[in-house]
Copies of this chain bind each other. A is one copy, B any other.
Amino acid sequence: MIRLTKAGEYGLRAVRYLVENGDEARISIGDISTNKNIPEPFLRKLFKPLVQQGIINSTRGVSGGVRLARQPEEITVLEVVEALEGPLALNECLLDDAACEFLAECGMHDVWEEAQAAMAKVLRSKNLTDLTK
């Protein structure tokens, strides 16, 4: 179906919330969940890859929470999407040549590659401040 999943949708929504409320030191995942209408335990999971990817910074305990690890201008939308959804790959063969049993005579491989590059270019050209406009 070639569509963003809830993981991407929710994750982006949460990150945008952090961009807009970046003044405050740290924001709890519970807050984000309430304000952005995202199931809390699910959202909690989504932060794991964002932290691993160096996009988000988290601390536990009282007055802990999450915040952007870098300036929003320095984080591209592509980066966030790939952290949440895995590497962009419109077709499996773009990730792993072995996945295509007809690679040599495929014909589609190059088309997908070109389409994906066009899409990636757009997502890479936007940073997190672009989302608040």
Contact = CB atoms under 8 A, between A and B. Distances in A.
A104 interface: no
Residue with the highest number of chain B CB atoms closer than 10 Å, among A77, A101, A107: A107
A114 interface: yes
Contacts of A132: 107
- Main SS class of interface, A: helix
Contacts of A126: 111
Contact of A118 (B9, B91, B101, B118): B118
Interface residues of A, number: 39
A127 B1 CA distance: 21
Contacts of A1: 5, 85-86
Interface string A1-37: 1111100110011001000000000000000000011
